[in-house]
Chains A and B, each alone.
Chain A
Amino acid sequence: MSENTEIGSGFRPSGQLQFGVFFQGVNSGTIWKAPEAGSQTDFESFRRLAQTAERGLFAAFFLGEGLRLREHLGRPHALDVAGRPDAQTMLAALAAVTTKIGLVATQNTTYNDPADLAHRLSSLDLLSGGRAAWNVVTTDNAWTGANFRRGGYLDHADRYRHAEAFVETAKRIWDAWDDGAIAGSTAAPGWAAPDSIRRVRHEGQHYSVDYVPRLPRSAQHRPVLFQAGDSSEGRDFAARQADVIFSAHAKFDAALDFRRDIVARTLKAGRGANDVQIMPASEFILAATAAEALEKKEWVRSLQIGPRQAIAYLEQFWGRELSSYDPDGPLPEIDPVVEETSETRGSGFHGAKARQLADQWRAEAKDKGLSIRQFVSAKTSRVDATFTGSYAEIADRLGDYARAGAVDGFNISPWLVPSGLDDIVNHLVPELQERGIYPTEYGGSTLREHLSLPVPVRSADASPVSAASDVDTAGDDIRLELAVRSQQL
């Protein structure tokens, strides 16, 4: 732990932590080889995890998204769990069997239409009584685009400019209905009050929107916004737009640095030091004693990265078949193929960098005396994001995070479905509650309330424009369009 845990810049640690659960669905972290590993697609797996999380007062249940099936050397990747339900469809079903937990859908800005996505998120928000959130991701590659009408149309450099215009448009769609828009009684003159719903128009480089939003604001006004994406542009985007960052920095020192970086960016964006919360991705391997936890970790790792996964992992970077290499031997001496290697999570890895990386890895493995399997296990095991230990010991460590304000909570990826949260909820949560750093009840009924987020300010649109009478409000529409054009892509 670092000496100086001061964040500074007016940031005030809340002293509290929140948990989320991240049901990824496509990854090597989820064990499928153990007999207790359940289905990745049956509704019961999702229900069980969501209800366990809710019993443990988790703020949120997250689903990931990948819009193209993961591949390995040009064919679908066979060794890890894959194939998952659509996030929002699943969350809408879970909304019916949960009452408090937030429901977070990871959804891409490149291969969705703003009006359609905003409408579906709004539906989820209303159906769940104000518990919906959108984890904004910007995967833009053409390989994913091959599944969509537009194909790969977006330059990587433009992904966040596009995402920002998208999110701004979504916010305007969510804010388009005045609070009193819907009649208070069945005797009112009309179902919607005149001029209480604004048409939303946007003309962008890649798309245009001209839409009369179909839904009012929800109990939490509009969906909570999460952001996941670690580049500098991604962080600035989050500082301007997001309520919570789903980060990749769980290790204490890295979390502190990341917090400082985000506080600085948030202040620069004209928001308060505490306005953007941070929940890193994390993994917990817990037991009654530290020794048992370590033993459990060995078992978890051996099932996460078997010999074939270890070879396949290297193949992704080498861009070639390496099946003749011994997983328990040293890293391959052969060089990577210098061309674009297979894309797995949508982030292209280029061969030019591959040779450099291979050299670096070979040196590293040799230095530490690691075999392929040991090396890959160390690389992939999210060492930085794994908390291994006894319940009490880990609760103490999390206390440091809470006191320093390094994070606002953790987004936990269970390594077993659907029972992977049981020990966390049964044993870790009570320890945290005893230490006064974890909620003892839900803070309300909406996700915004659980996270103590402020009520969002309405998007600054022009005065209400009658959706119906284009003719007599044409003046307003033109004014609105000009206002919008000046801030578009």
Chain B
Amino acid sequence: MSAATNTTARQGFLALELDGDGAHPAAWRAAAHAPAALLSGDRIRATVLAAESAGFHAATFADGPVDAQLSRPGVGAAGRLDAVQRAAFASPLTRSIVLVPQVDTVFTEPFHVATQLASLDYVSGGRAGWLVSASGTAAEGAAVGRTAVAGDGLAGEAAASIEVGRRLWDSWEDGAVVRDVASGRYLDVDQLHYADFDTEKFFPAEGFPGAGYSVKGPAIIPRPLQGQLPVLVPAELFAQLPDPSAADAVLVSAPSTELLATEVAELRGRLDGAGPAPAIIAELDVVLDARGQSAADRVAALDAHTPWHNPRARYVGSAEGLVELLAEVLAAADGVRLHPAVVDVDVEELSRLVLPALRRRGTLAPTLVDGTFRDLLGLGRPANRYTAEREEGERNE
């Protein structure tokens, strides 16, 4: 069930994308630090603490190859730290903000990804999520000796990786670490399960569109604190997943701010009645009037360095206007993810003017105190797929 769907006064959450210096490719020119300082722990500390103090519910960390046009002057940052590690580094520095790295599913090892994300859940005290990506570009493939993946192949790889993750996260039941001194057993082996994932069995009818593989399991780490980490999937990918219930949240984009609420409502309509609906998170680029400059002038100045082409809806204007827009979108969506044009400039304005106004209106869900990402999404603790099976077996003995 999605967050707060039953309450009359809907409350939503706000996520903030913290990648690089901001969503604009020339953001580094307006950053409050020397360019090289971007790739440091200090930078993560500063930005994630700013996001948490501002009252954002979640921070996301984009990943993937950076702009390959490295030798052309005027392009954006060519460096990027691993997203899981950025989220892990942010974990012990924060208490309430949810931390969601973007992790590829096409050219990665599903077993490693599942282990890393489960580990992130441990270091963050249950505040981790997984933003699934599947871009399948030739450049990403060449890095690991594979070729580009497109079309059905992308959704196939994503679905397979998510399933591997979910099975491994259940492969230790919650009570598997028994530490039973009397019997001398640290583990109860009956509560450990092979994942036995096989692409051939997982795609019996249509066949797996890529190079098949299998994952044995069990996991090498106990079940994550949340049981299952929330899985976030972009709408285009979500539409192609063989089983939509693989996703806990869907990220929805629109070509303009005017269409954003409509797009969200349409998706909600399509999802209604089709089993437990994932949460809907709307995507929005944001540029605010700041430091005596209008938002439009700020964009123009940055665009003069590097033009900003982006299919996402973009809000350019005053803080008051953004408050109105967010209130409207949050009436339809469970959450909104903001992509600030320049982190160092826009987050300050968001913190000073936008979030307080939304809180005053009662539009924002309270931030978590010792809660989990699942709590924020209104998801209960998930049953373990193997526990019921085992208990059934035990009853029949």
Contact = CB atoms under 8 A, between A and B. Distances in A.
B35 A191 contact: yes
A190 B73 contact: yes
Given A126-B40, A191-B77, A195-B71, A82 B88 contact: no
A467 B28 contact: no
Given A128-B41, A208-B145, A216-B79, A186 B85 contact: no
Interface in B345-376: none
Contacts of B221: 41, 83-86
Nearest to B164: A147
A183 B21 CA distance: 14
A126 B125 contact: no
B78 A192 contact: yes
A127 B81 contact: yes
B29 A186 contact: yes
A271 B185 CA distance: 48
B122 interface: yes
A215 B39 contact: yes
Interface string A180-220: 00111111111110110100000000011111101110000
Contacts of B85: 88-89, 92, 120, 123-124, 127
B268 interface: no
B201 interface: no
A239 to B, nearest CB: 29
A185 B37 CA distance: 11
A368 interface: no
Interface stretch (A6-14, A68-76, A248-256, A443-451): A68-76
A215 B122 contact: no
Contacts of B39: 126, 215-216
B181 interface: yes
Point out which of A42, A111, A129, A215 has the most chain B C-beta atoms below 10 A from its C-beta.
A215
B158 interface: no
A309 interface: yes
Interface string A79-110: 11111111011101111110000000000000
A296 interface: no
B69 interface: yes
B142 interface: yes
Interface stretch (B6-14, B90-98, B248-256, B324-332): B90-98
A306 to B, nearest CB: 5
Interface stretch (B208-216, B234-242, B269-277): B208-216
Given A84-B221, A182-B36, A78 B76 contact: no
B45 A78 contact: no
Most A-side CB within 10 Å, residue of B40, B69, B79, B108: B79
Contact of B119 (A86, A150, A188, A192): A86
Interface stretch (B51-59, B109-117, B289-297, B385-393): B109-117
Nearest to A206: B145
Contacts of A126: 39-41, 81
Nearest to A94: B92
Contact of B92 (A80, A82, A88, A93): A93
A89 B217 CA distance: 20
A258 to B, nearest CB: 30
Nearest to A111: B109
Given A43-B125, A120-B82, A79 B31 contact: no
Given A85-B122, A89-B116, A209 B34 contact: no
B73 A189 contact: yes
A401 B109 CA distance: 43
Contact of B72 (A190, A306, A307): A190
Nearest to A212: B68
Contacts of A88: 85, 116
Given A68-B216, A82-B186, A82-B187, A89 B45 contact: no
B188 interface: yes
A89 to B, nearest CB: 4
Contact of B81 (A67, A76, A123): A123
A144 to B, nearest CB: 9
Interface in B121-174: 122-123, 125, 139, 142-145, 172
B80 to A, nearest CB: 5
Nearest to B171: A69
A113 B144 contact: yes
A84 B78 contact: no
A207 B111 contact: no
Given A69-B192, A69-B218, A214-B80, A467 B71 contact: yes
B70 A78 contact: no
Residue of A94, A120, A212, A308 most packed against chain B (CB within 10 A): A212
Contacts of A76: 187, 189, 192, 218
A437 B247 CA distance: 57
Interface residues of B, number: 81
A49 B30 CA distance: 41
B70 A468 contact: yes
B216 A212 contact: no
Nearest to A33: B181
Contacts of B109: 111-113, 148-149
A198 to B, nearest CB: 10
Contacts of A352: none
Given A191-B76, A194-B73, A308 B36 contact: no
B381 interface: no
Contacts of A189: 73-74
Counting chain A CB atoms within 10 Å of each CB, the highest count among B28, B73, B89, B184 belongs to B89
A123 B80 CA distance: 8
A119 interface: yes
Nearest to B110: A149
Nearest to A86: B119
Contact of B220 (A66, A195, A215): A66
B222 interface: yes
* Residue among B75, B116, B118, B186 having the largest count of chain A Cβ atoms under 10 Å: B186
Interface in A432-489: 466-469
B184 A306 contact: yes
A90 B119 contact: yes
A116 interface: yes
- Residue in B70, B177, B192 whose Cβ sees the most chain A Cβ within 10 Å: B70
25 contacts: A33-B181, A43-B122, A43-B125, A80-B186, A82-B186, A83-B219, A85-B119, A89-B84, A89-B119, A92-B82, A92-B84, A116-B143, A120-B82, A127-B89, A146-B215, A150-B213, A182-B79, A183-B35, A189-B74, A191-B28, A191-B35, A209-B143, A309-B184, A467-B68, A468-B71
Closest 5 CB pairs of A and B: A85-B119, A92-B85, A92-B88, A89-B119, A190-B73
Given A149-B211, A183-B35, 12 more contacts: A78-B185, A84-B220, A85-B122, A85-B123, A85-B221, A90-B119, A90-B123, A127-B86, A151-B213, A186-B31, A211-B143, A216-B79
Interface of B: 28-31, 34-36, 39-41, 44-45, 65-66, 68-82, 84-86, 88-93, 107-112, 115-116, 118-120, 122-123, 125, 139, 142-145, 172, 176-177, 179, 181, 183-189, 192, 211, 213-222
